[in-house]
């Protein structure tokens, strides 16, 4: 089995996006942050804080991303309902629908 930082990040991200385990992962991350038992002990000058800062940054990034996605989804549902109502009242046989797609390359 190969270990990589990317696989660890992907595992953490998938786990925190799962609603069943989300709060357990957040609680575990916060407990790890305040715990004196770390991968790199905190009494080491710089190395001791790197793992805490990395994990806390990862937690804040993922939780803020989830909040933003939830906000956009709620706002998108409201905007979609308004747009559907507006297009229903002005149906025209000559109108066309344009779909704008942001392309992303996949490796």
The structural domain count of the chain equals: 1
Regions of the chain with pLDDT less than 70: 1, 77-96
Give the pLDDT confidence of 10-35 residue by residue, as tens digits.
888 888 888 888 889 989 988 888 88
**94 in any annotated domain:** no
**103 in any annotated domain:** no
Token couple for 87: 């297009």
**84 in any annotated domain:** yes
């Amino acid at each position: 089995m190969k270990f990589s930082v990317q696989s660890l990040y992907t595992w953490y991200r998938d786990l925190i996006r799962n609603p069943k385990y989300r709060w357990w992962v957040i609680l575990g991350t916060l407990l790890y942050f305040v715990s004196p038992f770390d991968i790199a002990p905190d009494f080491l000058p710089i190395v001791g804080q790197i793992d805490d800062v990395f994990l806390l940054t990862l937690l804040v990034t993922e939780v803020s991303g989830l909040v933003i996605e939830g906000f956009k989804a709620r706002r998108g549902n409201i905007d979609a309902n308004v747009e559907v109502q507006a297009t229903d009242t002005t149906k025209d046989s000559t109108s066309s629908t344009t779909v704008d797609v942001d392309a992303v390359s996949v490796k």
